[in-house]
Structure 1
Amino acid sequence: MGLDLSRVTRSSPYWPVISHTTLRRILPGFAVSALGDGMAVVAVSWLAIELAPTADRGIWVALAAAAYTLSGAVGALVLGRFLRHRGPTQLTGWDAALRAVALGAIPVLHAFGALGIEWYVVLLAVSSVLHSWGQAGVYTLIARVLPERDHLAGNAVLSGVGSIATVVGPPLATLLIVIGGPATVLAVDAMTFLVLAVTFLVAVPKDAVPEPEDDAASRTAGFAVIRRIPALSGLLALSFAFFFLFGPVYVALPLYVSDDLDAPAGVLAAFYMAFGIGAVLGSVLTGFLSRWRLWPTTVGIVIGFGALMLPLGLDAPTAVSVVCFGVAGLLWPPYSSLSTTLFQRSAPSALLPQALAASSAVRVLSVPLGTALGGPLVAGLGAVGALRLSGAGIALVGVIAAAALTLRAARTRPEPEAGAAEAEAATEVDARP
């Protein structure tokens, strides 16, 4: 009996996503932009290494990596009064347009010999001012155009596109770096964001995304929603710790490759490509996790991720470290998609952009804070020591969250006669690490 690929495809949890009229319009532009970002992962730090004074490279690499994301948290906090009533397509389109302009200025200045490390960091910061709102716009669109049962699959598709780009992007970036230098990579990245801006601002009809009936929201409504719902405040605390402790990797790993291993950019690309391959597989698997209990799965991912980071901190052979980093990548998309799904299910529809922007702000803030810490950590502990501290810290946070989750579940467990379904609901909604 032959395999009916059409039937298999239509029975997949991803079919409602890829067959949706509106999502079919945005996914190609999103994929092009993700590819550009996949290349920028290598180029941002490598250009900083080239521009920075040798004695202060660790600090400047940390500042460049942090600047590429940190101002997104500031934008989420201070621009709410101007953006809270904007539709999700506008939020994402404006974010993409700003990134295209700011990132495009980097290769132009570099070509004229006018790009110093200070201006480089400034332009990276400008490019990310609207990024929290842009991310909120994408996931708000997913939540509004798809029924709740398909939210996890929709999030997984976006995560999967980004993961594929992480696999393809680094080797392309390495090739472009050899041919024209890292500034050339950022020029290509700017063009991909221009494609994304046109996709959201022109290609998506204005009536394609339904608006909630109640659109009354204050600038701080997102944080208010998070504070009112223990599951969301607990999730945000867990995410902050997870991403904060991963932040030093963005500094330690490039310097570990360039200094400790004395290796070229291709080895750094191999680490990121392995992570991306794992992430692609993780994205495919994520859509099939809808029947799993969300909280235990999310916490278990954090513990496993930290454990898989430890070989890098123990100075294991490069091949072993690359493989473990790749397996850690397998866990990244499920965490992102599951945590976003919890927000989409718990926050009121009218306040979802604000809640997601607030969540993105905290997460975006955590990574550059951790990245900024990476400079002093590398200076004090060395790249290997910083990687070891990162992996052990992530695993410890996961263990603490698992213990807190178990205690919370025990306190909220209903009487036996209430039934298993109510017990599950109590654990999922009220659990707080």
Structure 2
Amino acid sequence: MRSSPYWPVISHTTLRRVLPGFAVSSLGDGMAVVAVSWLAIELAPSADRGVWVAPAATAYTLSGTVGALLLGRFLRHRPPTQLAGWDTALRAGALGAIPVLYAFGALGTEGYVALLAVSSVLHSWGQAGVHTLIARALPEHDHLAGNAVLSGLGSLATVVGPPLATLLIVFGGPAAVLAVDAATFLVLAVTFLVAVPTDAVPQPNDHTAAQSSGFAVIRRCPALSGLLALSFAFFFLFGPVYVALPLHVSDGLGASAGVLAAFYSAFGIGAVLGSVLTGFLGRWRLWPTTVGIVIGFGALMLPLGLNAPTAVSVVCFGVAGLLWPPYSSLSTTLFQRSTPSALLPQALAASSAVRVLSVPLRTALGGPLTAGLGSVGALRLSGAGIALVGLLAASALTLRAARTRHEPATGPAEPTRTQAEAGTRRAWS
């Protein structure tokens, strides 16, 4: 156990106080995936149920992008534990109000969507605070393992949470699930705001750097801009799968819902295994590995769009799930290594905002693509598009590496090189 790459993470004085609360909160979020849509169906008029499910699901995530764009001036200089604590406290309060209002018969559809939106306003900043905490509490060579632990807890929650939510909905209704979710966020908020001392996390001395916006930090570093574009394209092009795969199973294969569940279960199991394996990739070169994952993921999606036997498609989809958590952890680690510590919260918040924005856009893309190309065509385009984006990134990576080898050596006092660029050079190798 002590030789595991995860031992420095779970044995760290500060992180071992945070991780139990994060595990409980992740489980609550895994349960909320089912409850948010189900309560929207219950609250909306029968004729408008389809109209309200999408806004409810979108409000629960999209407002984090708005918060990242509008609140940077007030939040980018805050300590990471404070950012994470405020986010989880707001989530606990807003989500906790939903079952209370529901119990008194005072919860309407519009109010429900509004509370979901309020609950997520600080979420990009909260995620930035958590990963900044990892970057500042651990030495650089342990960043990937720290990110992998958080990713693993989230992946496990997506497998365990929905069945638990289903049981609780049967006995207590979807509002009860959101009450449990709010309680888990309250536990995590108390952990960040009370159980972690303010001096437990090293703070950077460069206070003037914290005045920069996250997008300005990313814009000044071409490698980070490219990484953010790669992430957006990756998640965006995966979007049609959420629409096309169910239609492919029901209409194209003529199969039951059990086959669709097999696809999702295989992906979830693969994601859990991928989270466990991620920490062992620390000795690999991060940039080539990250880009290689995108290419491999796209290639594994192609059998779904080429009418391969169902068993083959399920296995490939499960292996694609194996690659999903490593990409998330590796890309976050690249941000942590490439960005000065004082600039990290706003850079990570901007990155989180862009990733969150890809969710509603990719869902909106799925409908027209499936209608125009059919479910198989949409799946084929998704896999080929992801693989192509990865190949383009690999070409850019090769050109960048060639330029770096031919650049003349420079001393440490070179005035034209920013801290972020220097950090990116370290991450490159």
- Using the size of structure 2 for normalisation, the TM-score is 0.85
Quick check: 2:338–2:426 contact (8 Å CA) kept in 1? Answer: no
- Give CA-to-partner distance per residue, 1:336-369, whole Å, 9 cap, x none: 1111111111111111111111111111222222
Quick check: 1:70–1:125 contact (8 Å CA) kept in 2? Answer: yes
CA distance in 1, matches of 2:103, 2:36: 16
Worse-matched range after superposition: 133-142 or 297-306: 297-306
The reply on whether 1:391 has 2:383 as its aligned counterpart is: yes
The 5 A counterparts of 1:98-247 are 98-112=90-104, 114-217=106-209, 220-247=212-239
Aligned residue identity for 2:275: S
**Residue 294 of structure 1 is aligned with which of 286, 291, 309?**
286
CA distance change for structure 1 residues 329 and 57 in 2, over 3 Å: closer, same or farther?
farther
> Once the 2 structures are TM-superposed, how far is the Cα of residue 385 of structure 1 from its aligned partner?
5.4
Match for residue 412 of structure 2? none
CA distance change for structure 1 residues 108 and 255 in 2, over 3 Å: closer, same or farther?
farther
Match for residue 33 of structure 2? 41
Worse-matched range after superposition: 135-144 or 109-118: 109-118
**Sequence identity percentage:** 86
Quick check: 1:65–1:368 contact (8 Å CA) kept in 2? Answer: no
Match for residue 74 of structure 2? 82
1:361 is paired with a residue of what secondary structure?
A: helix
What RMSD, in angstroms, separates the aligned Cα atoms of the two structures? Answer: 3.4
CA distance in 1, matches of 2:399, 2:189: 46
- Give CA-to-partner distance per residue, 1:193-223, whole Å, 9 cap, x none: 1111111111111111111111224554322
Match for residue 420 of structure 1? none
> Once the 2 structures are TM-superposed, how far is the Cα of residue 381 of structure 1 from its aligned partner?
5.6
CA distance change for structure 1 residues 183 and 76 in 2, over 3 Å: closer, same or farther?
same
CA distance in 1, matches of 2:422, 2:343: 23
Match for residue 94 of structure 1? 86
CA distance in 1, matches of 2:195, 2:323: 33
Aligned residue identity for 1:19: S
**Residue 351 of structure 1 is aligned with which of 333, 340, 343?**
343
1:11 is paired with a residue of what secondary structure?
A: coil
Match for residue 298 of structure 2? 306
> Once the 2 structures are TM-superposed, how far is the Cα of residue 332 of structure 1 from its aligned partner?
1.3
Quick check: 1:240–1:363 contact (8 Å CA) kept in 2? Answer: yes
**Residue 425 of structure 2 is aligned with which of 421, 424, 429?**
429
Match for residue 404 of structure 2? 412
CA distance change for structure 1 residues 89 and 280 in 2, over 3 Å: closer, same or farther?
same
CA distance in 1, matches of 2:402, 2:196: 47
CA distance in 2, matches of 1:412, 1:18: 37
Quick check: 2:337–2:424 contact (8 Å CA) kept in 1? Answer: no
2:203 is paired with a residue of what secondary structure?
A: coil
The 5 A counterparts of 1:367-386 are 367-377=359-369, 386=378
The 5 A counterparts of 1:9-28 are 9-28=1-20
Worse-matched range after superposition: 344-353 or 43-52: 43-52
> Once the 2 structures are TM-superposed, how far is the Cα of residue 101 of structure 1 from its aligned partner?
2.0
Quick check: 1:132–1:357 contact (8 Å CA) kept in 2? Answer: yes
CA distance in 2, matches of 1:97, 1:219: 25
CA distance in 2, matches of 1:37, 1:135: 14
Quick check: 1:248–1:386 contact (8 Å CA) kept in 2? Answer: yes
1:160 is paired with a residue of what secondary structure?
A: helix
Match for residue 285 of structure 1? 277
- Give CA-to-partner distance per residue, 1:42-91, whole Å, 9 cap, x none: 33344445555677766644433322211111101110111122111111
Quick check: 1:45–1:254 contact (8 Å CA) kept in 2? Answer: no
> Once the 2 structures are TM-superposed, how far is the Cα of residue 327 of structure 1 from its aligned partner?
2.0
- Using the size of structure 1 for normalisation, the TM-score is 0.84
> Once the 2 structures are TM-superposed, how far is the Cα of residue 274 of structure 1 from its aligned partner?
3.2
Match for residue 326 of structure 1? 318
> Once the 2 structures are TM-superposed, how far is the Cα of residue 255 of structure 1 from its aligned partner?
7.4
Match for residue 422 of structure 1? none
The reply on whether 1:361 has 2:357 as its aligned counterpart is: no
CA distance in 1, matches of 2:255, 2:105: 28
Match for residue 5 of structure 1? none
CA distance in 2, matches of 1:377, 1:321: 20
Aligned residue identity for 2:235: F
CA distance in 1, matches of 2:288, 2:389: 14
Match for residue 274 of structure 1? 266
CA distance in 1, matches of 2:245, 2:118: 25
CA distance in 2, matches of 1:152, 1:62: 34
